[in-house]
Amino acid sequence: MEEAPGFLAGELREIGLDARELADLTPGTLAGLDLLHVFYPPMAWRGLVTARLMGLATVAHWMGSDVLAVRRGRERLKLRLSLPFIQLHLADSAGLVEELAGLGVRARFQPVLSDKLAVEDAPWPEEPSVLVYIPPERGDFYGVPRAVRLAHGMPDVRFRSCGPGPAPADAPANWEHLGVRDDMSPVYAGVRVLLRPTRHDGQGRMVLEALARGRRVVWSGRLPHVLTARTDDALDRAVREALDSGPNRGGREMVRRFFDRRRSAFRLRDYYRLLVGRTL
C-alpha cells in the first residue's frame, strides 16, 4: 500500500486539516508541525524519537507485516527503546492489534483505506472465476504457488491474476494474467471470488475492495463475511464453497457501514485533537 500516506493526506485535507506527506523525518522537515503520523514504523524509529523530542505528538500506524520485523533481535530492541516516544499506536487490522499486544504494544484498530475502495452493486458473473494477486516479489509469501496448485485442480474454473509480478511459469491453461490495472472495477466485476492465501497479512486492501463489490473472499486472515482458510485442503474447500455461494451482500454492506473513507478521516482527526490538546 505504498500510496497510503499520500492518499490519507489528501483525505485529511478534504476535512480541513493541514496534512502533508514528508519525504524524510529530519528536524528541518518536522519544524513547525503539531503531529507526526508514521506508516511502516519499524523503518522510522529515529524520526519518531526526533519528533517527540521536538514536542510533536506522535502516531505509529502498523500495517501488514510490519510486526514481523520487530519480533526478535535488534529491531525488537529498537521498538522497546522507542515506545516512550510514541503516544498512539494504530493497527490496520484486528489481528494485528492482537499480535502487537503480544509484543507489549497497545494499539487501536484503524484501517488504512484507498481511493479504489468503492461500494458497487456488480452483477454476479456467470463464469466460475477466481482472482489472485501477484506481487513484484515474495510470491511464496503471498501464496501464489498454492493458488496455482488450486487452479490445476479446478480446470473448469477461470483463474485471473493481477499485480506487478509476472504470470506464474507453471500456470495452467485456465489461468489468465492481467498485469497491473489502474481501474480494478472491471476486474472485480468479472470474478466471483478473491483468493488471498498470504502467510501473514494486515487488512488486505484487496479484501475490502472485493467485499465492496459483493465478491466472496477466501483469505488467511479473519474478518466477518470472509472465509478463513490456511491449509491447502481448507483453501480448496473454501474456494469451492465461495464459488457456489452467490453475491456477498453482507460483506458489501459491512464495507459501506464500517469502512467509509470519510468517517475514517474524521476518526483520525479526533485522535489528533486528543493528542495535540486543542482543536486542529
Q: Average pLDDT over the chain, rounded to whole?
A: 91
Assess whether pLDDT exceeds 60 at residue 12. Answer: yes
Assess whether pLDDT exceeds 70 at residue 36. Answer: yes
Q: What is the pLDDT of residues 55-112, one digit of tens each?
A: 999 999 998 777 887 877 778 888 888 899 999 999 988 889 998 999 889 999 998 8
Backbone angles phi, psi at 44, to 5 degrees: -135, 25
Compute the distance between CA of residue 28 and CA of residue 104 in angstroms, rounded to an integer. Answer: 32
Find the DSSP H helices in the chain. Answer: 4-14, 27-30, 45-53, 73-82, 94-102, 144-153, 185-189, 205-212, 232-243, 249-258, 261-276
Q: What pLDDT, on a 0 to 100 scale, did the predictor assign at position 2?
A: 37
Confidence class for position 164, pLDDT limits 50, 70, 90: very high
Q: What pLDDT, on a 0 to 100 scale, did the predictor assign at position 3?
A: 45
Give the residue range(s) of CATH 3.40.50.2000 domains in the chain: 4-113+261-276, 129-257
110 versus 279: which is more confidently predicted?
110
Closest C-alpha to 39, from 101, 115, 134, 111: 111
Assess whether pLDDT exceeds 80 at residue 4. Answer: no
Residues near 265 by beta carbon (within 8 Å), at least 6 away in sequence: 8, 11, 12, 14, 15
Average confidence (pLDDT) over 223-249: 95
Superfamily grouping for domain 4-113+261-276: Glycogen Phosphorylase B; (3.40.50.2000)
Amino acid at 214: G
Find the DSSP H helices in 112-231. Answer: 144-153, 185-189, 205-212
66 versus 207: which is more confidently predicted?
207
Say what percent of the chain tops pLDDT 90: 67
Say what percent of the chain tops pLDDT 70: 97
Q: What pLDDT, on a 0 to 100 scale, did the predictor assign at position 202?
A: 77
Compute the distance between CA of residue 232 and CA of residue 196 in angstroms, rounded to an integer. Answer: 12
Q: Give the CATH number of domain 129-257.
A: 3.40.50.2000
Compute the distance between CA of residue 82 and CA of residue 89 in angstroms, rounded to an integer. Answer: 12
Assess whether pLDDT exceeds 70 at residue 5. Answer: no
Q: What is the pLDDT of residues 99-131, one digit of tens each?
A: 899 988 999 999 888 777 889 999 999 999 999
Q: What pLDDT, on a 0 to 100 scale, did the predictor assign at position 204?
A: 80
Q: What is the pLDDT of residues 177-201, one digit of tens each?
A: 999 998 999 999 999 999 999 988 8
Average confidence (pLDDT) over 224-234: 94
